[in-house]
Structure 1
Amino acid sequence: MNHHNETRINVLFVCMGNICRSPTADAIFRHHVRAASLDHLIRIDSAGTHAYHSGEPPDRRAQQAALKRGYSMQGLQARCVEISDFARFDYILAMDRNNLSDMQRDCPPDHLDKLSLLLQYSEHWETCQEVPDPYYGGKQGFEIVLDLVESASEGLLRHIVDRIER
């Protein structure tokens, strides 16, 4: 894959309700991609496996925690994963095993290889494989999500850049 054909790579981050973890990943990864001047090549979106919050903005606590680190969730709105997403996206990254198995159940077999856990791209993978849901916890939960997602975003971007340059 080279720059000449300007292949776009589409990345989808998925959690349960698409209001805490996946919009956080969306905002952080978007920030890294923009900093690397690759926004013309990499498209980013997020969705939830459940439609509880469809149309809502991200959780205010998640937005505030992210903003403190310079990540904006401006304009993001919760939506549910749709069958067409499996064909449209190249990377479909789940925050935890429940999200992953929910998607594996619905995903057409020829797209299953696009599904993985986000933290597979993190240096913390050996000790931590799931991004814990901060929804019912205190402030600290949102900080943990940011730490884990920052690490995975850096790893994911390195992985994609290698793929683009090959």
Structure 2
Amino acid sequence: MNRKENIKTSVLFVCMGNICRSPTAEAVFRQQVKAAGFEHAIHIDSAGTHDYHVGQPPDERAQRAAQRRGYDTQKLRGRQVHERDFEVFHYILAMDRANLAILERECPPQYRHKLGLLMQYGEGFSQGIQEVPDPYFGGNQGFEHVLNMVEEAGRGLLNRICNEK
């Protein structure tokens, strides 16, 4: 990454309630960015399209799965996407098409180019793996699967951001 400018790149991960997938993606990407030495250059956050869990910590199952891999989600709290997010963030990445559609409806036209799916940065995207499934109503294996997916996509996203700088 070229450090010629002082502008931080900002990334917002979005799912429905901001207690499973998007905080997991935030924690994973935060650690990937820190390991690469770019925490000073990339701002990371997460939010939900719905207000179901505003102010709440991530789902306990998501926290346990993340903790087993060394990711810290304990301080994260759910929040809903705000209108200002569309202006502030450079990347606004939904976990699935349903949440992307909500973002597309709410996003002012001049910022729609910032929207996308997180998995578009994963290696499996070209083979049709385009969405991070919601593990909320499933078992622990769903949370492990989400971690695998966001780790892969996070590496691709970090590579993309580094190549843009």
| TM-score between the two structures when normalised by the length of structure 2 | 0.97
Q: Is the 8 A contact 1:57 1:77 kept in 2?
A: yes
Once the 2 structures are TM-superposed, how far is the Cα of residue 32 of structure 1 from its aligned partner?
0.3
Runs of 4+ in 1 over 4 A off after TM superposition: none
The CA RMSD over aligned residues, in Å, is 1.0
Aligned residues: 164
- 1:81 maps to amino acid: V
Residue of structure 1 in register with 2:74 after alignment: 74
Q: Given that residues 134 and 145 in structure 1 are in contact (C-alpha distance below 8 angstroms), is that contact kept between their aligned partners in structure 2?
A: yes
Deviation at 1:127, TM superposition (A): 3.2
* Aligned residues of 2:2 and 2:162 also touching (Cα < 8 A): no
Structure 2 regions of 5+ residues with no counterpart? Answer: none
Matches for 1:1-166 after TM superposition, within 5 Å: 2-125=2-125, 126-164=127-165
In the TM superposition, residue 4 of structure 1 has moved relative to its aligned partner by 2.5
% identity of equivalent residues:
58
- Flag structure 1 segments of 5+ consecutive residues without an equivalent: none
Could you list the per-position Cα deviations for residues 4-34 of structure 1 after superposition, in whole angstroms to 9, with x for gaps in the alignment?
3222000000000000000000000000000
| TM-score computed with the length of structure 1 as normaliser | 0.97
Measure the CA separation in 2 of the matches of 1:156 and 1:11: 10
Deviates more, 1:46-55 or 1:120-129: 120-129
Q: What's the secondary structure of 1:145's corresponding residue?
A: helix
Q: One-letter code of the match for 1:83? A: E
